[in-house]
Amino acid sequence: MEFNYGDTLSIKSDLYTILGKIRYIDTNGDIWYEYKLIKHSTNGQFWLSWDEIRNEYQFTKPCGSMRPSTMICVDEGREIVSGAWGDVDVDISDSAKYQEYESPDGATTFSIEEWEDETEYSTGFYVNKEFVTLEPKATVTNSIEQRLKSVSGRNKIFGPFLWIVICVLAVFASELDLPSWHQVRAFFNHPYTVSEYIKEHPDTYTYVTSITGANNLKSDIYQSSLSLDETTQDIIKGLKGDVERVTQDGNTAFTEITEDNQEVAEEYKAEKRNETTIPTETVTLLTKYEYITVYISTENTVLVRVESRESAYNHNNDGGYHSSSRSYWFYRNSYWYNGYAQDQMKYTSPSSYSDYNPTSNPYKSDYSNTSSSSTKNPYKSDYSSGYGAGTSDANRLSRATNYSYSPYESYATSIRNASTGGRGSDSGGTSHGK
């Protein structure tokens, strides 16, 4: 039975009101609903969903990340939000990778949902459908009534036609040689992200920490087991070349020649043959929704900073995580040149870049060991053909639209053009909502 936002249910004689409702579809085309509940007697929050295989309801609550070792994985897949009502922290086309576990006797459950910005865990049990009933005449408390009023009207759904389209694409993509699941998501303005790619490759990327900036927006830090050059290429390949801009400081990156980058790498090395070597310490990648920084840390490890463009825009000048002053300056300068102007039209909150001066480099001392004078910035770019970041020459700011060429952009183009297949995705059945 499908319930609605605001309905009151009796579950094993206790009353709960539905504060939120989410409709999901997975890559098999399975559709289900998750209900966010508030318990009348305690105001505790729980989730309810229908399990078609067991013909029972699954009743869960948030918990810690420790999963009992005896539990068995019974389902996993990737879900996408196709409808949302009331007090729920999801938007249309948000997606998550999920796993469902059960105890050997099937009495208890444990669920994991890996969203783009966080991972959520929940534990619960199954409830016979006879113990879940709709109570239309039940009286809700004043506090619950106020919560219902505060979120009234927050309904987000696909239009009927678009919803049918995405269902068909999800079910028949492989059979009909239609676009991949990630391409379908991109069509609905939710493309595959670097954050997802990195989380799906734990053998290469290890989570280190998160930096909380303005408006509680987070930047995640990962350590890569690859070199800076290999890491950058791996991320570009992971996104099938779907990046808007790549910049690098110095001119020594992109030296690892592989089968898929040979032409671009050879050309780049030939161009650099007679130039002064300036070590590359930092590479930035701008996608439609994210700003990525790959850099050599002060401990000489390769770190990857992953954040949304909104987080980059709201950046509170945190100094960087274990980054040199040169690397951190490049990180800020590159975003100012390549992303800030666009994002300023999208986000209305104050930004630390509102008074940013791109011609000022407070870290000139970092360059004292290069062939250039310490009073000049050796990374200023001749925008027609230069490599590197930033400029101390105000006369060149008007040409900033060409700032700053990196061979990784040519590499991304070659990867994008060569990409004819799609990424696969898992299938599954149930989850617990966000």
357: which 2 tokens? 């001066």
Position 53 scores a pLDDT of 80
Q: From CA 44, how far away is CA 21, in angstroms rounded?
A: 17
Cα separation values, 142 from 9, 47, 86, Å: 17, 21, 17
Helices 407-418 and 228-238: crossing angle in degrees, nearest 10, is: 30
Position 60 scores a pLDDT of 96
**Residues 206, 291 contacting (CB under 8 angstroms):** no
Residue 87 has what DSSP assignment?
Answer: S
Quick one: which of 1, 28, 12 has its CA closest to 428?
28
Position 135 scores a pLDDT of 92
Position 368 scores a pLDDT of 37
Q: Which amino acid is at 178?
A: L
Domain boundaries, the chain: 8-161, 194-418
**Residues 431, 99 contacting (CB under 8 angstroms):** no
**pLDDT tens digits for 163-184?**
555 555 555 554 544 445 555 5
Q: From CA 184, how far away is CA 162, in angstroms rounded?
A: 11
Position 47 scores a pLDDT of 96
Position 349 scores a pLDDT of 78
One digit per residue, pLDDT tens: the chain, 434 residues?
Answer: 789 989 999 999 899 999 999 988 876 667 889 999 999 999 999 999 998 888 899 999 999 888 888 999 988 888 888 888 888 888 877 888 899 999 998 889 999 999 877 899 999 999 999 999 999 888 888 888 888 887 765 566 555 555 555 555 555 554 544 445 555 555 555 567 898 899 889 999 999 998 887 777 889 999 999 999 999 999 999 998 888 899 988 888 888 888 888 888 888 878 777 777 788 999 999 998 899 999 999 999 999 999 988 899 988 888 899 999 889 988 998 898 888 888 888 887 788 888 777 666 554 434 333 333 333 333 333 332 333 333 333 333 333 333 456 889 888 888 887 764 433 333 333 444 44
Q: From CA 279, how far away is CA 411, in angstroms rounded?
A: 20
Residue 297 has what DSSP assignment?
Answer: B
Q: From CA 154, how far away is CA 136, in angstroms rounded?
A: 22
Position 302 scores a pLDDT of 97
Position 95 scores a pLDDT of 84
The residue behind tokens 């990778």 is 97
Size (the chain), residues? 434
Q: From CA 158, how far away is CA 147, in angstroms rounded?
A: 25
